[in-house]
Structure formats: C-alpha cells, structure tokens
Amino acid sequence: MNADPLRLARRIGHEFTREELLLQALTHRSAASANNERLEFLGDALIGFVIAEALWKRFPEADEGTLSRMRASLVKRETLAALARGLDLGDYLHLGAGELRTGGYARDSILADAFEALWGAVYLDAGFTSARELVLRLFATRLAQTSATHAGKDPKTQLQEWLQAQRRPLPEYAVVATGGDQHAQTFVVSCTLSDADLGTRAEGGTRRGAEQAAAHAMLEQLKNA
C-alpha cells in the first residue's frame, strides 16, 4: 500500500472509528484472506439503494424502466472506477505480488470493487445515514447531470446528439497513449472538435471506457461554455 489510508478517509469526509474496516476495504483477495469481498457486497447494495432513492425523488414522473436505466448508468463498473480514480484509490490498495506486476491498481474491476467496499466499510463504521450522505455528495455532480431523456444513453451518444442538434461536426477520438501490462492495459484517449479549439483527454481500462470518459468531459465543457 503506497499511501496513507487515513488520507483517503479525509478525502471522502469520514473519520473511521474502526480503522481496520478501512484497511480491509482496501485489501484485494490476492493480498490476504481478510480481504474486501464481503465489504464489496455491502457497498454494492448500499450504493444501489442510495442512487435508486435519489433518482426516485428527483424524477417523480419517470417509470420503473427509465429509473432502472438511469441507475444502471450511474452505478456501472466504468462509472465506479472513474469515481475511484478521482479519489486516487489505486494509490491506497493492498494487492498481491501478481496483481502488482500486472497493474491491478489501475484495473477497472479492482477499482470498482474497492470503491464499493469502501462504502461498505463506512456503513459498518458509522451507519446508514452517514454513508448515504457521503455517497450522495460524491455522486452529486453525476446525479445533477442525469436526465430522464438521456436515460441509458452513454456519454458518446449524448455528445453526438448534442452536436447534431447544434448542426456541428461529430467529435474525433484518438488513442494518444497506452500503458500497463498486456493483461491490464490503460488507454489515454483524446476527444477533439474540428470546429472549435476544444479538446479533452481521459484514461480508462479499455479504449471504449476512455472514449466514454473523454466524451463526458467534452460534454461538460460544452454545457458549461
């Protein structure tokens, strides 16, 4: 584990009473038998419910199918891994030697699982209300950007539709860098617009994931311009 886990706790806004829960949440099964798999189970359920409740309140006219699609887009592996990267979660993970060699600290699946385990640990340490408030704070921007109209549409599709509505050319994507072992590669992808001096870059465990993240960043630039 490279970084002090208490620094991560401060980043998410929670002071652990039981620090062993935090350490367990950051321990992959490749490193120890006391790992984060059971906490991941709790965190997965917790995040799913908190986001479902938030969407239910935010979109009173949305039907079950629409709410399900919105929830799925917010709690899918790529989204959780992106949020984990925003916390530099990979810097705090305790991995076995094999996973370290293959760049497991940057793999979407490991990051997403540890992210879920982290919230399972917060729940056990402080209860549902505290965990719910912190999850909502972390997801606040993404929840605010979610719309029933775009339910289930990925960022690349949303960006394309936004540009088409403005009668603008479609974006161009390019892989600008790759890293990691062959079995755990990371991709850096750029997204550019030919009619404007705008460009974004994003990293992902797959080329598609990086493209989606770059498209999301571009969409944010355009909306906030």
Q: Please give the positions annotated as active site.
A: 44, 116
The token pair that represents 168 in the structure block:
């603008």
**What are residue 167's phi and psi, to 5 degrees?**
55, 45
Most distant pair of Cα atoms in the chain: their distance: 56
Handedness of CA 121, 46, 213, 207 (dihedral sign): positive
Rg (CA), the chain: 18
Lookup result for tokens 């798999």: 37
Does residue 53 have a known ligand-binding role? no
Is 116 assigned a ligand-binding role in the annotation?
A: yes
The kind and range of the H/E element at 51 are: helix 37-58
Ligand-binding site membership of 154 (annotated) = no
Yes or no: say if 143 and 136 are a contact pair by the CB < 8 Å rule.
yes
Phi, psi of 172, deg, nearest 5: -115, 135
- d(C-alpha 74, C-alpha 193), whole Å: 26
Annotated binding site: 40, 113, 116
Annotated binding site for Mg(2+): 40, 113, 116
